[in-house]
Amino acid sequence: MKRTALAALPLAALLLLVAALVAAPSAAADMDGVMMSGGKMMMMKMGKPAGPMEHEMTMSDGTRVRLDGTVRAKDGTEKHLRDGQMIMMDGHIMDGGKAQGMSQ
């Protein structure tokens, strides 16, 4: 019985590795949005800078993002992104990898 369990261990490890590799691209794809960097808004694709933001954007939840970093939610509340903050395409604000609401 111990032999069977030991023989299954490499197979389980291989399956976990394959699952992690398959999941990684989708996690990176979730990192699309815009980020305040050095006082300028930058487009982010797959978690990497993709060039400057060139025009106002509307996120999927109705949140609007201006070139100066002003974020206006659909309910009218406004916030100005600080350096290092990112707003995802779904309208969620990220600060240091943690989601944050508009009230902060």
The 3 state secondary structure assigned to the chain is: CHHHHHHHHHHHHHHHHHHHHHHHHHHHHCCCEEEEECCEEEEEECCEEEEECCCCEECCCCCEECCCCEEECCCCCEEECCCCEEEECCCCEEECCEEECCCC
The model's pTM is 0.66
Q: What is the pLDDT along the chain (104 residues), one digit of tens a residue?
A: 556 655 655 655 545 555 554 554 445 456 899 999 999 999 999 888 999 999 999 999 999 999 999 999 999 999 999 999 999 999 999 887 655 565 54
Cα 76 to Cα 8: distance, rounded to the nearest angstrom = 56
